[in-house]
Amino acid sequence: MKIDPWSSSTYQDYENLRKEFGIEEFTEDLWQYLPRPHRLLRRGIIFGHRDFQKILEAIQNKQPWAILTGLMPSGRMHLGHKMIIDEVVYYQSLGADIFIAVADIEAYGTRGFSLSETKELAVNEYIKNYIALGLKPERCHIYFQSKNTFVKDLAYLLGKKINWSQMTATYGFNGATNMTHVFSPLVQTGDILHVQLERFGGIRPVLVPVGVDQDPHICLSRDIAQAHRLYNVIKTKDDKIGIFVKPDNDIIPLLDNAEKIVSSLGFTEFKRISDYKALYLLKAKESDICKIDKALALSEPEFQGYGFLQPSATFHRFMTGLTGGKMSSSKPESAIFLTDSPEEAKKKIMYAKTGGAVSLEEQRQQGGKPDECIVYELFLYHLIDDDVQLHDIYHTCRSGDRMCGQCKKEAAELVGGMIQQIAEKRNLSNKVMDAYLD
Ligand code: TRP
Ligand code: SF4
């Protein structure tokens, strides 16, 4: 099985997906240490991650970190898209620098949109709604791929350490794939890594919150980041921590530098193994690797390296469409759009598939199935922040004390109110738009 970032497939079995692709589970062990953990984190909607530990450490130690995510401006913004921004707004409240890429090159290369069409959609559909959803302009940068020289330059330069076989194996490209499409994963790598360039805040942990369809790009960016490092820090076969200088670099000055850095971290017992271009730390533990690697990364620009830390990622589930299948802009009846009128949105809920039984009688006796209910999913993802209240809905549904008609009405009222509030804030967004755009 392969994840194809450009297909419209839906995923059901997230657990299997995690196992197959080596994505870590996003458990309570991680979110319980975050301030005011967001409902999407508490409720397993963000079900997986790569390297989130790094972000947690930065937050706990009050060190700088950043969020980078991207949007493909290829249709109207719906509740599925809202999830990412809810996350971003939360992380902004924890102190992250925020970067949002408008993937206009990708939309042009893979979906056939013109750059001016994507600009119009990005501003009017997405960015206005982002502002309405509470994104603040401070330390927040929204940019277009096609206008960002740093991103495009990195895409060219970083491509050096990836070859065509790797690209075809990852993405299934073939002789008929257009070259802008082929290039778009490298542009996305440029998006993800450019925030660690000096002028964008320098080397620091970066979290990329995305849907799981983006995992191939995450892996590519992580591989490329590591491939461009000057040092590799690993546990050796004889259980030592080894710092290896990558081939084609100046060995002696880099080993001198490594000695200086590990000493300053308090590791004073080490041995240089010139044959291996390595420094072995005799008393370091595996749990020290992260700290050592970060300190070395920070020194790499002095030696003409980038020092990129491997980016972290979280993966969220996709929202089910109101009629089943995936919520998608191309099927208007499947999605609630943020620019729907409150009446339209309410009406859509009344048609949504539920987990109710065939008759009221049967539902009273056997209860409903909230886990298979799209109305419940709306409560879970968007409408009810209070966990106690959500549990109550869940249990009264299961026990047969809650009927779908009334339940849908409650959901419709909440959706209507939410959409109304977003619309009011969106109408004020024009005035402040410039503060967000680079
Ligand atoms: N490829 C993403 C999508 O299809 C959009 C995107 C572009 C992106 N650059 C990014 C996502 C960087 C995360 C990080 O939606
Ligand atoms: Fe869904 Fe509510 Fe019906 Fe339960 S009662 S199945 S939660 S609509």
| Residue from 3, 113, 188 to probe ligand 1 pocket by mutation (most atoms less than 8 Å from CB) | 188
Q: Identify the nearest ligand to the CA of 349 by its number.
A: 2
pLDDT per residue over 86-108, tens digit each? Answer: 999 999 999 999 999 999 999 99
Q: How confident is the model over 303-329, as a mean pLDDT? A: 95
pLDDT above 90 covers what percent of the chain? 95
Residues 6+ apart with CB under 8 A from 141: 97, 98, 99, 100, 436, 438
CA separation for the pair 213, 3 (Å, rounded): 6
Nearest CA to ligand 1 atom 11: 70
Which helix H or strand E contains 207, and what residues bound it?
strand 206-211
| Residue 5: pLDDT over 80 | yes
- What value does the mean pLDDT take over residues 236-257? 95
- CA–CA separation, 372 and 254 (whole Å): 57
Residue 304 to residue 97: CA distance in whole angstroms: 25
Percent with pLDDT over 70 in the chain: 99
Asked if residue 241 lies in contact with residue 248, where contact means CB atoms within 8 angstroms, the answer is no
Instruction: Tell me the average pLDDT of the chain.
Output: 96
Residue closest to 298 by CA, chosen among 159, 407, 203, 427 = 203
25 confidence band (pLDDT: 50, 70, 90): very high
Pick the closest to residue 94 from 37, 29, 14 (CA basis): 37
| Angle formed at CA 266 by CA 263 and CA 272, multiple of 5 degrees | 40
pLDDT of res. 12: 77
pLDDT at 40: 98
Would you say residue 343 has pLDDT above 90?
yes
With cut-offs at 50, 70 and 90, classify the pLDDT of residue 133. Answer: very high
Q: Is the per-residue pLDDT at 8 higher than 80?
A: no
Question: What pLDDT was estimated at residue 66?
Answer: 98
Residue 296: its pLDDT value, please?
Answer: 98
Report the pLDDT averaged over residues 16-36.
Answer: 96
How far is residue 289's CA from residue 299's CA, in Å, rounded to a whole number? 16
Return the best residue to mutate from 348, 397, 399, 406 for the ligand 2 pocket (most ligand atoms within 8 A of CB).
397
Give the pLDDT confidence score for residue 138 in this predicted structure. Answer: 97
309: three-class secondary structure by DSSP:
coil
Ligand 1 interacting residues, C-beta cut-off 6 A: 5, 68-70, 72, 101, 103, 106, 188, 191-192, 208, 210, 214
Q: Against a cut of 0.85, is the pTM above it?
A: yes
Confidence band of 2 (pLDDT split at 50, 70, 90) = confident
Taking only the tens place, the pLDDT of each residue in 168-210 is: 999 999 999 999 999 999 999 999 999 999 999 999 999 999 9
From the CB of residue 394, how many other CB atoms can be counted at a distance below 10 Å?
A: 18
Average pLDDT over residues 275-304: 95
CA 402 – ligand 2 centroid, Å: 7
Pocket test for ligand 2, best of 360, 373, 415 (most atoms within 8 A of CB): 373
Sign of the alpha-carbon torsion through 167, 317, 348, 429? negative
Average pLDDT over residues 20-46: 96
Query: Are 315 and 48 contacting, i.e. CB atoms less than 8 angstroms apart?
Result: yes
Q: What does the pLDDT average to over 252-258?
A: 97
Kindly state the average pLDDT of the residues 33-43: 97
| CA 354 to centroid of ligand 2, rounded, Å | 6
pLDDT at 325 over 90: no
Exposure string over 86-118, b if 16+ CB within 10 A, otherwise e: bbbbbbbeeebbbbbbbbbbbbbbbbebeeebb
Residue at token pair 């995992």: 215
Q: Which residues line ligand 2 (CB under 6 A)?
A: 354-356, 368, 370, 373, 375-376, 397, 402-404, 407-408
Distance 71 CA to ligand 1 centre (A): 5
Could you tell me which of 154, 73, 81, 156 has the C-alpha nearest to residue 115?
A: 73
- Residue 220 makes CB contacts below 8 A (sequence gap 6+) with 162, 170, 185, 188, 189
Whether pLDDT at 9 is above 80 = no
pLDDT score of 10 more than 80: no
Which of 208, 219, 191, 171 lies closest to 46, judged by CA? 208
What per-residue confidence (pLDDT) applies to 11? 76
Q: Looking at the chain, how many residues does it have?
A: 438
With CA atoms as reference, report the closest residue to 39 among 290, 377, 359, 280. Answer: 377
Question: Of 358, 407, 415, which is best to mutate to test ligand 2, by the most ligand atoms within 8 angstroms of its C-beta?
Answer: 407
Q: What is the pLDDT of residue 212?
A: 93
- Please report the pLDDT score of residue 438 as a whole number: 84
Which ligand 2 atom is at minimum distance from the Cα of 404?
Answer: 3
Instruction: List the residue whose alpha carbon is closest to atom 4 of ligand 2.
Output: 397
Q: Give the pLDDT band (50/70/90) at residue 435.
A: very high
Q: In which band, very low, low, confident or very high, does the pLDDT at 80 lie, cut at 50, 70 and 90? A: very high
* Å from CA of 237 to ligand 1 middle: 38
Would you say residue 398 has pLDDT above 80? yes
Assess whether pLDDT exceeds 80 at residue 433.
yes
